[in-house]
Amino acid sequence: MTSTASGQSSGPPDSGLARLDVRGISKRFGAVRAIRHADMTVRAGQVHALVGENGAGKSTLIKIISGAESADSGSIEFEGAPVAITSTVEAMALGIATVYQEPQLFAELTVSENIFTGREMRKGVRVDWAAQNAKVVELLQLLGLPGRYATVTLGSLSIAEQQQVSIAKALAGNAKILILDEPSAILTDAEIEVLFGVVRRLTDSGVAVIYISHRLDELFRIAHEVTVMRDGSTIGTYPIEKLTVRQIAELMVGGILNDERGERAIPDAPARLVLQDLGVAGKFHSVNVSVRPGEIVALYGLVGSGVSEIAATIYGMDRATAGKILLGGKAIAPRSPREAQKLGIALLPANRKLEGMFSFQPIAFNISAGHLPLLSKFGGWMDRGRERTIAKDLITRLAVKTPSEKQFIGAMSGGNAQKVVLARQLVERPEVLVLAEPTQGVDVGAKEEIHRIITELAEAGSAVLVVTSDLAEALRISDRLLVVRGGTTTAEFGPDATQVDVLAAAAGAAEPGESDAESRAADAEPRAADAEPRAADAEQRAADAEQRAADTELPAAGVVATGTGIVPAETGRSAE
């Protein structure tokens, strides 16, 4: 690690000088005032965080800076001189490199083709494949990816790797400002470490970084300053160390947050969804989970723990090789998400930007998709009136920011689009609801709203399983929390579990000879009176392991730190 947010001494000579100065920007899309008034100064060698609720105008502001949209008013200065950025090509020529919130890559092309399409390196009129390849390998290595990925098709990489390729693409020019629009929303903790390593290297060499994120806690590790947007306006820029997570969240929503959570009474009924000794060879084994009607159970685990593979198996994306999935006491073996849904499991898949939505369809369609029986009348005709009513109702309940239910989902802000995909599951109250990373990329206000809706569904009798790598979320929403580690469920906690307890159980720290705290944490009594200091101890070791991983100069992709040492993660598996 080369520098920290507060230690800027190692920066280049011009570190801290204004590189980009944005004044009085405004932007309308028809009736929507996406930006009312935005001011922001971005400095060389620093990470400038940009935060705000879904729809606050963050992506629009960076699209204006990167030339993808034009402002209605305002001015931009680049290195002290006024500039008119009227296209992305002009922005790139200035050294403004952007990784957009929606991936803009092609799954069928190779990594190298994705990086250079439209701006091939040439020798005379010919594409200089050798030079291009060498540059790609260099970029991949900078990002901790193997050089051989250059010739692999993008679609065969994991989502995290694809996102790193977007960054490589942005860096292929000579970047002076790198804009990252929610790069971490789809990344695991270990992948975020790699990303931060890259960001630190870039700022050390003088690059200014604009970093949009809804994961407020991570900003304290990477950002120097933070600009908060609310309702289309920047309401202030602050040195990050002057604020707490809570204060930032309160600036974003313009009020006081209430995250109190009461203990709920779960009706005593037989389990609706049971995973019985479930396993998929090579991925996870002996997983036992049961969810009763009215209950919210969280499955929490670090990357490589097998937790996301368990969700994939319930979704029918993977076939179980051992054990059973029981739905209402009956064994099921779905072969696709569609089949799982037909069998009665409502699903909210992770990575829903790619899997869950129909970008070129209106919101109403996106909500009603999958509910045709409910919405058809007279033997098959779609009841458009009813579709509209239901869509409008859900738009209100989820506080989706949109002028109309006729809006195309592709034109919505990322978090708002996500709410629409969730809304689709709420049209009919499902008996069983399985959600994977339900609030990834969603702002604090929307997160609260989504958590409230999930709780309401449970209160109305749904059995809910939430698979998440967001510990705060797991703790906040669940009646019971199961920790997945080393491919199996290892510990169970009630609603009064603390973050330290759970982290300790999840991270394990199971090095030979020091497994005491770990085995206790993983034992059936994780909250014994003496477990607290030991758990804290284990957590420290987990943090140390993570730190080691971060300190290792950009670990190769697919390798993550866990408490048990460095193990291969499930990334890039299909690349071989």
Ligand X SMILES: Nc1ncnc2c1ncn2[C@@H]1O[C@H](COP(=O)(O)OP(=O)(O)OP(=O)(O)O)[C@@H](O)[C@H]1O
User: Contact positions toward ligand X, by CB under 6 A?
Assistant: 29, 32, 34, 52, 54-60, 101, 401-402, 411-416, 443
Give rounded-to-5 percent helix, strand, coil for the chain.
Answer: 35, 25, 40
Pick from ligand X, Mg ion, none: which does 29 bind, CB < 5 to 8 A by kind? Answer: ligand X
Give the DSSP H/E element, type plus range, for residue 180: strand 177-181
Q: Establish if 445 lies at the interface with Mg ion (CB under 5 A).
A: no
Contacts of 230 (CB under 8 A, 6+ apart): 52, 53, 56, 251, 252, 253, 254
Give whichever of 282 and 403 is closer to ligand X, judged by the CB atom. 403
Scanning the structure block, which residue is given the tokens 């010739």?
A: 151
Backbone φ and ψ of 422, nearest 5°: -65, -40
Using the minimum distance from each CB to Mg ion, give the nearer residue, 437 or 479: 437
**Residue 166 binds Mg ion, judged by CB under 5 A:** no
Selected range binding Mg ion among 58-66, 374-382, 492-500, 552-560, rule: CB under 5 A:
58-66
| Shortest reach from residue 211's CB to Mg ion, in Å | 13
Using the rule CB under 5 A, give the single segment among 51-59, 223-231, 262-270, 470-478 that binds Mg ion. Answer: 51-59
Q: Is the dihedral of CA 326, 328, 332, 335 positive or negative?
A: negative
Q: Give min distance, CB of 363 to ligand X, in A.
A: 10
Distance, in Å, from the CA atom of 563 to the CA atom of 305, rounded to the nearest integer, reads: 11
Q: Are 462 and 427 in contact (CB under 8 A)?
A: no
HEC states along 73-136?
EEEEEECCEEECCCCHHHHHHHCEEEECCCCCCCCCCEHHHHHHCCCCCEECCEECHHHHHHHH
Stretch near Mg ion under the rule CB under 5 A, chosen from 56-64, 279-287, 446-454, 558-566: 56-64
Q: Other CB atoms closer than 10 Å to residue 512's CB: what's the count?
A: 6
Using the minimum distance from each CB to ligand X, give the nearer residue, 296 or 412.
Answer: 412
Structural tokens at position 176:
């002076």
Among 15, 26, 59, 184, binds Mg ion (CB under 5 A): 59
User: Which residue is at the shortest CB distance from Mg ion?
Assistant: 59
What is the closest distance, in whole angstroms, from the C-beta atom of residue 60 to ligand X in the complex? 3
The least distance separating ligand X from the CB of residue 232, rounded to whole angstroms, comes to 7
Nearer to ligand X, 21 or 182 (CB): 182
Instruction: Look at residue 368 and give the partner it binds from ligand X, Mg ion, none, a contact being a CB closer than 5 to 8 Å depending on partner kind.
Output: none
- Determine which residue in the list 234, 308, 413, 418 makes contact with Mg ion, applying CB under 5 A: 413
Q: What is the residue whose two structure tokens read 């705290």?
A: 517
411 binding partner (options Mg ion, ligand X, none; Cβ < 5 to 8 Å by kind): ligand X
User: 98 contacts which partner out of ligand X, Mg ion, none, CB within 5 to 8 A by kind?
Assistant: none
The whole-angstrom separation of Cα 136 and Cα 422 is 38
User: At closest approach, how far in Å is the CB of 477 from ligand X?
Assistant: 21
Two tokens, residue 168 = 């490589």
Contact in structure between 85 and 179 (CB atoms under 8 Å):
no
Contact call for residues 496 and 328 (beta carbons, < 8 A):
no
Q: Are 129 and 120 in contact (CB under 8 A)?
A: no
List the single partner that 327 binds among Mg ion, ligand X, none, CB under 5 to 8 Å by kind: none
> Which entry of Mg ion, ligand X, none binds 401, CB below 5 to 8 A by partner kind?
ligand X
CB of 192 to ligand X, least distance (A): 18
| Contact between residue 335 and residue 292 where contact means Cβ atoms under 8 Å apart | no
Q: Please answer whether residues 383 and 376 qualify as being in contact, where contact means their C-beta atoms are separated by less than 8 angstroms.
A: yes
Smallest distance, Mg ion to C-beta of residue 59, A:
3
Which amino acid is located at 111 in the chain?
V
Query: Rounded to the nearest whole angstrom, what is the least distance from the CB of residue 181 to Mg ion in the complex?
Result: 6
- State the minimum distance, in angstroms, from the CB of residue 170 to Mg ion: 16
Give least dist CB 248 to Mg ion, A.
Answer: 17
Q: Which does 481 bind (CB under 5 to 8 A by kind): Mg ion, ligand X, none?
A: none
* Residue 188 near which of ligand X, Mg ion, none (CB within 5-8 Å, type-dependent): none
- 3-class DSSP string for 298-328: EEECCCCCCHHHHHHHHCCCCCCCEEEEEEC
Residue ranges of E strands in 223-321: 225-230, 233-239, 273-280, 284-291, 296-300
> From the list Mg ion, ligand X, none, which binds 56 (C-beta under 5 to 8 Å, kind-based)?
ligand X
Judged by beta carbon, residue 252 or residue 521, the one nearer ligand X is: 252
Kindly state the greatest CA–CA separation across the chain: 76
Binding residues for Mg ion, how many (CB under 5 A)? 4
Q: From residue 88 to residue 127, what is the string marking binding to Mg ion with x (rule CB under 5 A)? A: -------------x--------------------------
Cβ proximity to ligand X: between 157 and 409 the closer is 409
The sign of the CA dihedral 522, 523, 528, 533 is negative
- H or E element, residue 210: strand 208-212
What is the closest distance, in whole angstroms, from the C-beta atom of residue 505 to Mg ion in the complex?
34
- CB of 58 vs ligand X, minimal distance in Å: 3
For residue 52, the partner it binds in Mg ion, ligand X, none, with Cβ less than 5 to 8 A by kind, is ligand X
Does 414 participate in binding Mg ion (rule CB under 5 A)?
Answer: yes
Q: How far is the CB of 71 from ligand X (least distance, A)?
A: 13
- CB nearer to ligand X: pick between 347 and 412: 412
Per the document, the length of the chain is 576
Which CB sits closer to ligand X, 55 or 304?
Answer: 55
- Spatial contact of 20 and 77, defined as CB atoms under 8 Å apart: yes
Task: Pick what 57 binds: Mg ion, ligand X, none; C-beta below 5 to 8 Å, kind-dependent.
Answer: ligand X
- Which residues are near Mg ion by CB under 5 A? 59, 101, 413-414
